[in-house]
Chain A
Amino acid sequence: MTETLPLILATILTAATPLMIAALGEHVVERAGVINLGVEGMMIVGAASGFAVAVLADSSPLGLLAGLLAGLGLAVAFGLAVVVFATNQVATGLALTILGLGLAGLVGQGFVGQPRAAMAPLAIPLLAEIPVVGPALFTGDPVFFLSLGLVALVAFVLSRTRLGLLLRAAGENQDSAHALGLPVMRLRFAAILFGGAMAGLAGAYLSLIYTRFWSPGMSAGRGWIALALVVFAGGKVWRLVFGAYLFGGITVAQLHAQAGAIGLPSQLLSALPYVMTIAALLALSLGGRKGQGAAGSLGQPFVPER
């Protein structure tokens, strides 16, 4: 048990990290008052282009960077549409997801089934020596540690800095924020760019670190689960982290259950993350937090009066 436990813990972290990164980005976007349903599309394009660049340049870090930039590129398109041209955010996001799924297929065309070696793990000196917990929590891929840093950074910026305050103001009440002279559109655009970069990075993590191969449709709804995590978080970053690891746990548990052949149909187990997403949202609502935590101006197109 002492041998497999760290391994299981490590796989949970690997399964949770892309969810957490994508959800963290979308969290910032939604704090600014924009809902981006294109996360799934940005993720899969990040996964495809990240993998393609990693293979061509034979460098996983470059691949991760490429995935991030691909997400950023789609975010520019999304931002132009919803912020500058005030299009319907729900429809635009959906369009981006459809476009992204197609684009990822085109980009990843020549790379289906190619394996890719794991990135060298990073071990924190001393802490990694602790039995069980050490190998699981303090030895990991660099992006895992980066994701923890990003969580802290986002939490700090949103709650403790002027920028975070302005961003939340733009999301909470766009008209008041505008009347106060805040650059609502620019704040939103910046948030969208951050969200896109995170979704792209999360996608590249999927293909380069989680599965280590590219296959079409491999994001399998993780972008949507990330969106659900943001709702689940209700404006609090720590709940987002908790939710992401919970889902990582569920994903890994159902994979182990499938491998262990416990007599349940594998499809039932595969459906678990999606059913659990609905169940989590339901539990949240039953807990009396109905509609709470979302930014006041979420999803409303903003066209300044003057």
Chain B
Amino acid sequence: MTPLFVLTPRPFVSPLRRVLTPVCALAAALAIGGVIVALLGRSPAAAFRVFLVEPLTDPWAAQEVLLKATPLVLIATGLLFCFRASRWNIGAEGQFLVGGLCGGGIAILTHGMTGAWILPAMMLAGACGGLAYAALPALLRVRFGISEILTSLMLVYVADLLLDYLVRGPWRDPKGFNFPQSVAFSDAALLHPLLEGGRLHAGMILALAAALAAALVFRRTLFGFAIAASGEAPRAANFAGFNEGRITILVFLISGALAGLAGVIEVAGQVGQLRPGFGQGLGFTAIIVAFLGRLSPLGAVLAALVIAVLLIGAESAQVSLKLPLDLARFFMGLLLICILLGESLERYRIRFRRAEKERPA
């Protein structure tokens, strides 16, 4: 028995196909998602409206979408460095939490103080925290050959427990009726809205700047080339003199710092205090964003918007359609699988075996 079909590499991938792949993947995932919604006894059309249309048409929800997309863009931009180099940092969630903790720690230490330096200090602390937390798996891989996948992921659980310990223990708000949360940050430690009456803050600008900088690094610098070479042809990269260990450490540090920065922006811009679960799994969601955006910074920005729409839609669907948040999670995993399959079909052509046999020898 021979396989039904074989994959043969396409000699040339048209730009149109490259654009259509994620669009088709999204469409396929939506179709399957619609079936699941119908199985759960809800109308797929109503779900489509709540998940994908209303977050864009309602002005309040549209703002929420941009706010939700901000940390996603930052974390995913950092992850691009890792994934392009085929280094698998899947612990961005932990780096995000530690960043939020470090920045939030500064906010708690300076509680009641005023000064324009507080917010920058928080950002710096958060970025450094995320960076240090990402350095751990990178060093363990470079020095000891330990899989960065497992260590970076294990550290997510540790960061989660550290957050839990701090907000229930030393950093708990003494006047908080024993709720596991820190004090509400002072004014000087909060990211304020850019416009009167709106909610958008400067975090979005930072995120876009990071994505732009990443695009420049990937396109215009030797480091960007070294990352791509090391990811796609590690042996060739070695022969070219690119230091494998140094690339591993650098891409981890960059992605850790950006995830940490995203953590500070989340606590200073959205949450306004430290409390368990402020991560919301955004560090994991950003992995999907990175892949949905085809590992390109511009793609990541677009993908972050799509995913943010879905997340905001999921929150309102929970209320209006009684659809659980787990549906959104399931859908995002499904979407990622569809993208990966689409990428495979973009790279390879399916050739059926039977047709080949009928051809005269």
Q: Which residues of A contact B (CB under 8 A)?
A: 37, 41, 77, 81, 85-88, 90-92, 94-106, 109, 185, 216, 220-221, 224, 227-228, 231, 265, 267-268, 270-271, 274-275, 277-278, 281-282, 285-286, 290-291, 303-304, 306
Contact = CB atoms under 8 A, between A and B. Distances in A.
B288 interface: yes
A167 B353 CA distance: 25
A70 to B, nearest CB: 14
Contact of B333 (A100, A216, A227): A100
A268 B328 contact: no
B144 interface: yes
Contacts of B332: 98-99, 102
A228 B324 contact: no
A227 B149 CA distance: 10
Given A98-B329, A278-B150, 15 more contacts: A85-B348, A95-B336, A102-B330, A105-B326, A105-B330, A220-B157, A228-B154, A267-B164, A271-B157, A274-B157, A277-B154, A290-B144, A290-B145, A303-B9, A304-B6
A192 to B, nearest CB: 15
A85 B345 contact: yes
- Report, nearest first, the 3 A-B pairs whose CB atoms are least far apart: A99-B333, A105-B326, A102-B330
B327 interface: yes
Interface in B81-121: 88, 90
Given A94-B90, A96-B337, A221 B326 contact: no
Contacts of A96: 333, 337
B222 interface: no
Given A85-B7, A274-B157, A282 B344 contact: no
A275 B158 contact: yes
B165 A106 contact: no
A223 to B, nearest CB: 10
A98 B145 contact: no
Interface string B329-350: 1111110110011011100100
A224 B146 contact: no
A92 B88 CA distance: 13
A306 B334 CA distance: 31
Interface string B275-293: 0000000001001100100
Contacts of B345: 85
Contacts of B334: 95, 99
B275 to A, nearest CB: 15
Given A86-B348, A278-B140, A98 B324 contact: no
Contacts of A106: 36, 40, 324, 326-327, 330
Given A85-B7, A91-B291, A274-B157, A227 B150 contact: yes
Contacts of B161: 267-268, 270-271
Interface string B154-191: 11011001101100110000000000000000000000
B153 interface: yes
Given A224-B154, A285-B145, A95 B340 contact: yes
A290 B145 CA distance: 6
A105 B340 contact: no
A109 B324 contact: yes
30 contacts: A81-B344, A85-B7, A85-B344, A86-B344, A90-B149, A91-B287, A99-B333, A99-B334, A99-B337, A100-B333, A102-B333, A103-B326, A103-B330, A105-B326, A109-B326, A185-B3, A216-B326, A224-B153, A224-B154, A227-B150, A265-B169, A267-B164, A267-B165, A270-B161, A278-B150, A278-B151, A285-B144, A285-B145, A303-B9, A304-B6
Contact of A278 (B7, B154, B162): B154
Contact of B150 (A81, A85, A228): A228
A219 to B, nearest CB: 12
A68 to B, nearest CB: 21
The DSSP consensus for interface residues of chain B is: helix
B340 A87 contact: yes
A98 B154 contact: no
B243 interface: no
B147 interface: yes
Contacts of A275: 154, 158
A97 B333 contact: yes
B345 to A, nearest CB: 7
Contact of B147 (A274, A281, A304): A281
Contacts of A282: 140, 144, 146
Nearest to B285: A98
Contacts of A99: 329-330, 332-334, 336-337
Contacts of A228: 150, 154
A271 B154 CA distance: 9
A221 B333 contact: no
Contacts of A265: 165, 169
A265 to B, nearest CB: 5
A103 B328 CA distance: 10
A99 B291 CA distance: 15
With a 10 A CB-CB cut-off, give which of A37, A102, A228 has the most chain B CB atoms: A102
A10 B324 CA distance: 37
Contacts of B157: 220-221, 271, 274
Contacts of B153: 221, 224
Contacts of B162: 267, 271
A305 to B, nearest CB: 9
B85 to A, nearest CB: 13
